[in-house]
A and B are shown apart, each in its own frame.
Chain A
C-alpha cells in the first residue's frame, strides 16, 4: 500500500520535472499524413527545372539502371533545394516518376528523414542543435533568442518569408557547442548552402540573422573570435613546437 503511494508520488515528481513531452513537434515532421492545401496538393504541377534536369541525370547515373530507386534521397534533396527548402506532395510524386516507383515508396523516405521538410520553411531555415552538448552550452537560450527576435514560433515562417527556426539533432559540432545551421534556399539549388555557425551566443545569432536579412553572408564556422576552427580559445597551449619526428630508420645510412 505504502509502496504504491510512494511510487505514485515519485511519478508525480517526475511528471512535474519533465518538460511537456511533445510540445510542438516541428510541423514538418509532426504529421505523417498529408493535408491538402491550395499550395500543396497532388494536382499542383511540379517538375525539375531546366537547370536541374542534367543534375537529375547525373544523380541517376550513379546507380545501376535496374536500381533507380537508390537515387530517391539525392533527388528529394535536389527537389527540396529547387522548391525553396520544402517538398510539396507533387514534388515527391515527380521524384517517384523519375525513379519509377509507387509514390508511397517516396513518401515513406521523405517522412522518415527529418531533413526533408514537408511544410513551408523560410528562405533561411535556421536549425538549432538541441542535442545534449549544445543544450548544456545553452542552445535553449539561443533558440529563445531567435524566436523572440523573429517573433515566430518554432517551424513558423516569418511574415516576410525569410526565416524559420527548427530544431535538429546532433550535427557533429559538439566541440564548438552551441551551434546553429543556416540552410540557405534563397537562390534555389544553384546557390544553396548549408552553413554551420558555431560557438554562437544569443547576441551573436541575432547579429547573424540581421546580417542575413541585409543580404550579407556572415562568415560561417566558429563565431568566437578567439578560436580558430575547433582549436582552443586564445591559441594553442600545447604542441607548440615542431613535433618530434618519428624514430625512423635512417635509410640513407645503410
Chain B
C-alpha cells in the first residue's frame, strides 16, 4: 500500500462522519463504534437463545441454599434456566448459572454499593442495561450477559474508569493481580478517547501497613465499606464530589484496626497496597504455599508467598469456618520476624557467659550428661506457644522415658485439667457463633486475643443486634456491649440470677459464654470453672442437643493440642525445685523461681526471652519451614506445610528430641513424622483428622459445685500488645513499628 492511498484513507476518515461510519477499519482515532446490531437487540436475542446449550458450572463452586422451598424462583441467564432463592441479585444468579460478571465495587461480604457500574447486563424488557449487583432477580427474568449492549456498556464503563487511572502498571505493586488490569484486558478497549490531563490525588498516610497511591483509586468504596462494616473503625470515607471525589480520612489519621491489612486484598486496583511488601517482588515470581497461621489460637488459613528461601508475604486463604477471607494484621505482617533473630547453630554457654557455636553431637552429649545427673522429679519440660503436636508428643514421650511427667504448655496454667475437651475448647465453633443471640465475654478481650473470632462476633452483633455482656478490665470493643463488671463476682451474681444480665441470658435462644484463656493463670481457676458449671445448670438453653454455648477462647496455637496430648503439670511446684528445664520454644514462662544452679535447655527458633537463661541452645524450625499439626481453639486440626528451607543447622523439634533421646539411651520408637503421628494416634486420634473439627463428646465441664469462692481480684488484660505476642512477632520490625504507632495507650 502506497503512501498516497494511506494518506487519502486517513483524510477520508477524518473528514467523514465517524460515528456513522460503517466500516470500523477506517476509524483510526475513534475505535468504539456503533455497530448496526446494537440498534436491533432482537437480532442478538435470537442468536443467544439456542436450543441445546453446552453445560456450564457455577463460578467458584457457588452453591445455592434454599432456606424455604416456596421461595424458589427461576431466571434465565443467556438462555439457561437457573433456580435461585428469592432475594438473590442478578449478579448472584449469573454466578450460579456459571457466568462471571465483571465487577469492582461488589464484594460478597460487604454491603452493595452499585457505584462502579462494571456489572451492567442486559435484562429483557428493561430499557437500559441494569447494574446486576444491585438488581434483585425477579421470577422469569431473562438476563443476557453476552449481548452487544452488555459488551458495549462494559466497554464504556471501562473507558470511564481508565480515564483518570494512571498508566503506571509497570511500577504498580498490584500489577499481575489487579482486577482493573485483568478486566480491562477482557472487557476494555485498546485505546481511549480521553485527551485531557488526568487528575491526581494526594496520597494518604494510613500507617505502617497500608501504602496508598490514591491517584490509582477508582472509587469503588470497598475499603470504606470494609472499614465501617467488618473492621468496625469509622475512619475512611468518600470525600468530595464529581471528579474531585477521593477516599480519605479528611483529618490526618492512621488506620488503627487489627484487620486493616485486608483492605490491601479487597482493593481492586493498586491504590491500597502493602507497605512492607512495596517493590519487593512481583506476584508471578512467588511460590504460594497453602498453610495455616500460628500467631494466635484461631489457625487462620493463609498462603505463604515465598521467593527462594525468603518469605515475601502472607495472604489469607478462604475458610468459611475459621477466618472467612480475612486475616489479622499480626498474621499478615509478622513474616519479617521469620528471618530476624534466628538461631542457626547449636550453642553452649561457656564459662564466660557467652554462647559458643558447637556441633549437634557435642550439644546433645552435654545435655545427655546433665540429664543423667539430675533426679527424674527435678526435670521439667515446657512447650512454647508455637509448638506443634508432633514436637509436644515427642517431648512428652522423651521426658516420660526419663522418668518425669512435669511437662506443660505455656498459657495453660497450673490448675487446668485436660480431662474433658469441652473444658478447653470453643464448643460453639467459630462459625457457630453466628447463631448466638447473646454473648457473655468473661475475662477476654477477643479483639486482641483472637481478632478473627472478634470479627465473627462483630458480624453477628451487626446482623442480629445480639446483646454482648463483658466482664473484665475496660477495653476497646468495635461493637456495642454492656460492661457488667471487672471481677469474677459479677459472674457469680449472674449465676445466682441477682444480675440483670441473667434475664438476657435466660431469654436468649442460643446464648454463648466465652471465657478467656487468661483465667487459667488465676488462683481461682477451679472456682470460676465450677461457677460456669452452675451457670450451665441454671440456664438450660446454654447446652442443648443442638447448641453448646460454653466456650473457652484460647490464646496460643499450641494450647489445644497440648491439652489433647495431656501436657499438664504433675505437681504444683514446677519451677521451684527444678534442676533441669527443657524449654521447647517457651519464651513467656516465668523463670524467676528457678534455682540458680538449674540447667536450662532452650530449643527454639528465635533468640528471644528464653535464651537469656539458657545453658544450651538447640536451633529448631518455625511454622513456615516445617510440617506440623496444630489444633485451633474450636478443635479444628490443621497442618502447616513447609514453604521455605530451614535456616543454618536448625532441625525440626521432634527430630531434636528424638536425637537427644538416643544419646540419652532412651531411644524414642519413631524415625519419621508419620511415626510420630502414629504415636499421636494412640494418645489423641482426633489430631490426625486434618481439616476437621472434632467437637467435644461430653458437653459441660463436670466440675463439682463450687466449694471454693471466687476471688475479688479483677480479671487482667491477657494480651498487652496485640502486635507482639510471641517470638516471631517480637522479632518482626513491622510489628515493632505497629506497636509504636498503632497500639493503644
Is B167 an interface residue, CB under 8 A from the partner? no
Bound Cα distance from A29 to B11, whole angstroms: 44
Q: Which residues of A contact B365 (CB under 8 A)?
A: none
Task: Decide if A21 touches B196 in the complex (CB within 8 Å).
Answer: yes
Most buried by A among B237, B245, B249: B237
Q: Which residues of B contact A21 (CB under 8 A)?
A: 196-197
Q: Which residues of B contact A105 (CB under 8 A)?
A: 234, 237
Q: Which residues of B contact A30 (CB under 8 A)?
A: 244
- Secondary structure at the A interface, as helix, strand, loop or mixed, is helix
Is B29 an interface residue, CB under 8 A from the partner? yes
Closest CB in chain B relative to A96 CB, distance in Å? 10
Task: Decide if A42 touches B238 in the complex (CB within 8 Å).
Answer: no
Bound Cα distance from A3 to B25, whole angstroms: 13
Q: Which residue of B3, B195, B250 contacts A34 across the interface (Cβ within 8 Å)?
A: B250
Is B351 an interface residue, CB under 8 A from the partner? no
Task: Decide if A3 touches B10 in the complex (CB within 8 Å).
Answer: yes
Q: Which residues of B contact A33 (CB under 8 A)?
A: 202, 204, 239, 248-252
Is B519 an interface residue, CB under 8 A from the partner? no
Within 8 A of A (CB), among B206-235: 228, 234-235
Most buried by B among A2, A25, A29, A32: A32
Interface size class of A (residues with CB under 8 A): 20 to 34
Task: Decide if A102 touches B234 in the complex (CB within 8 Å).
Answer: yes
**Known interface pairs A3-B10, A4-B28, A7-B29; A32-B239 also in contact (CB < 8 Å):** yes
Q: Which residues of A contact B251 (CB under 8 A)?
A: 33-34, 42, 89, 103, 107
Bound Cα distance from A144 to B140, whole angstroms: 61
Closest CB in chain B relative to A36 CB, distance in Å? 8
Return the CB mask of A1-40 against B: 1 if under 8 Å, else 0.
Answer: 1111011000100100000010001000110111010000
Closest CB in chain A relative to B223 CB, distance in Å? 12
Bound Cα distance from A1 to B3, whole angstroms: 9
Write the chain B residue with the least CB distance to A5.
B10
Write the chain A residue with the least CB distance to B201.
A32
Bound Cα distance from A206 to B240, whole angstroms: 33
Task: Decide if A32 touches B246 in the complex (CB within 8 Å).
Answer: yes
Is B241 an interface residue, CB under 8 A from the partner? yes
Is B7 an interface residue, CB under 8 A from the partner? yes
Q: Which residues of B contact A111 (CB under 8 A)?
A: 239-241, 250
Bound Cα distance from A33 to B202, whole angstroms: 9
Q: Which residues of B contact A2 (CB under 8 A)?
A: 6-7, 10-11
**Known interface pairs A32-B244, A33-B248; A6-B239 also in contact (CB < 8 Å):** no
Is B13 an interface residue, CB under 8 A from the partner? yes
Q: Which residues of A contact B202 (CB under 8 A)?
A: 33
Closest CB in chain B relative to A43 CB, distance in Å? 11
Is B14 an interface residue, CB under 8 A from the partner? yes
Task: Decide if B197 touches A32 in the complex (CB within 8 Å).
Answer: no
Bound Cα distance from A105 to B236, whole angstroms: 9
Q: Which residues of A contact B238 (CB under 8 A)?
A: 108
Is A104 an interface residue, CB under 8 A from the partner? yes
Q: Which residues of B contact A194 (CB under 8 A)?
A: none
Is A63 an interface residue, CB under 8 A from the partner? no
Task: Decide if A32 touches B14 in the complex (CB within 8 Å).
Answer: no
Closest CB in chain A relative to B480 CB, distance in Å? 12
Within 8 A of B (CB), among A115-155: none
Q: Which residues of A contact B228 (CB under 8 A)?
A: 102
Bound Cα distance from A103 to B240, whole angstroms: 15
Task: Decide if A32 touches B234 in the complex (CB within 8 Å).
Answer: no
Interface size class of B (residues with CB under 8 A): 20 to 34
Bound Cα distance from A35 to B28, whole angstroms: 47
Task: Decide if A3 touches B13 in the complex (CB within 8 Å).
Answer: yes
Within 8 A of A (CB), among B236-273: 236-241, 244-246, 248-252
Q: Which residues of B contact A25 (CB under 8 A)?
A: 244
Bound Cα distance from A29 to B10, whole angstroms: 44
**Known interface pairs A21-B197, A34-B251; A107-B239 also in contact (CB < 8 Å):** yes
Write the chain B residue with the least CB distance to A107.
B250
Write the chain A residue with the least CB distance to B236.
A104
Task: Decide if B29 touches A3 in the complex (CB within 8 Å).
Answer: yes
Write the chain B residue with the least CB distance to A4.
B28
Write the chain A residue with the least CB distance to B243.
A22
Return the CB mask of A213-235 against B: 1 if under 8 Å, else 0.
Answer: 00000000000000000000000
Bound Cα distance from A33 to B247, whole angstroms: 10
Q: Which residue of B3, B14, B234, B252 contacts A7 across the interface (Cβ within 8 Å)?
A: B14
Closest CB in chain A relative to B241 CB, distance in Å? 5
Bound Cα distance from A32 to B237, whole angstroms: 11
Closest CB in chain A relative to B233 CB, distance in Å? 9
Write the chain A residue with the least CB distance to B29.
A7
Write the chain B residue with the least CB distance to A7.
B29
Task: Decide if A108 touches B237 in the complex (CB within 8 Å).
Answer: yes
Bound Cα distance from A1 to B244, whole angstroms: 36
Write the chain A residue with the least CB distance to B11.
A2
Closest CB in chain A relative to B115 CB, distance in Å? 14
Write the chain B residue with the least CB distance to A101.
B234
Closest CB in chain A relative to B246 CB, distance in Å? 5
**Known interface pairs A11-B195, A104-B235, A107-B250; A32-B240 also in contact (CB < 8 Å):** yes
Task: Decide if A104 touches B10 in the complex (CB within 8 Å).
Answer: no
Task: Decide if A107 touches B14 in the complex (CB within 8 Å).
Answer: no
Return the CB mask of B21-46 against A: 1 if under 8 Å, else 0.
Answer: 00000001100000000000000000
Most buried by A among B195, B204, B239, B249: B239
Bound Cα distance from A146 to B246, whole angstroms: 32
Task: Decide if B10 touches A32 in the complex (CB within 8 Å).
Answer: no
Q: Which residues of B contact A4 (CB under 8 A)?
A: 10, 28
Task: Decide if A32 touches B250 in the complex (CB within 8 Å).
Answer: yes
Closest CB in chain B relative to A151 CB, distance in Å? 28
Bound Cα distance from A147 to B682, whole angstroms: 90
Write the chain A residue with the least CB distance to B241.
A112
Write the chain B residue with the least CB distance to A108.
B237
Closest CB in chain A relative to B657 CB, distance in Å? 53
Bound Cα distance from A107 to B195, whole angstroms: 32
Write the chain B residue with the least CB distance to A111.
B239
Q: Which residues of A contact B236 (CB under 8 A)?
A: 104
Bound Cα distance from A1 to B5, whole angstroms: 11
Closest CB in chain A relative to B372 CB, distance in Å? 65
Write the chain A residue with the least CB distance to B204.
A33
Q: Which residues of B contact A102 (CB under 8 A)?
A: 228, 234-235
Most buried by A among B10, B202, B235: B10
Return the CB mask of B180-194 against A: 1 if under 8 Å, else 0.
Answer: 000000000000000
Closest CB in chain B relative to A244 CB, distance in Å? 43
Bound Cα distance from A8 to B326, whole angstroms: 49
Task: Decide if A104 touches B6 in the complex (CB within 8 Å).
Answer: no
Write the chain A residue with the least CB distance to B196.
A21
Q: Which residues of A contact B28 (CB under 8 A)?
A: 3-4
Write the chain A residue with the least CB distance to B238.
A108
Closest CB in chain A relative to B132 CB, distance in Å? 26
Q: Which residues of B contact A112 (CB under 8 A)?
A: 239-241
Task: Decide if A3 touches B252 in the complex (CB within 8 Å).
Answer: no
Q: Which residues of B contact A36 (CB under 8 A)?
A: 252
Q: Which residues of B contact A89 (CB under 8 A)?
A: 250-251
Return the CB mask of A53-91 against B: 1 if under 8 Å, else 0.
Answer: 000000000000000000000000000000000000100
Task: Decide if B241 touches A104 in the complex (CB within 8 Å).
Answer: no
Bound Cα distance from A32 to B14, whole angstroms: 41
Return the CB mask of B304-342 against A: 1 if under 8 Å, else 0.
Answer: 000000000000000000000000000000000000000
Q: A2-B7, A111-B250 given. 19 additional CB < 8 A pairs?
A: A4-B10, A6-B10, A6-B14, A11-B195, A32-B244, A33-B202, A34-B251, A34-B252, A102-B228, A102-B234, A104-B235, A104-B236, A104-B250, A107-B237, A107-B250, A108-B239, A112-B239, A112-B241, A113-B241
15 A–B contacts, CB within 8 A, in A order: A1-B3, A1-B10, A2-B7, A2-B11, A3-B10, A6-B10, A29-B244, A32-B250, A33-B239, A34-B250, A34-B252, A89-B250, A111-B240, A111-B241, A112-B240
B interface residues (Cβ-Cβ under 8 A, vs A) = 3, 6-7, 10-11, 13-14, 28-29, 195-197, 202, 204, 228, 234-241, 244-246, 248-252
**Across chains A and B, which 4 residue pairs bring their CB atoms closest together, nearest first?**
A102-B234, A3-B10, A107-B250, A32-B240
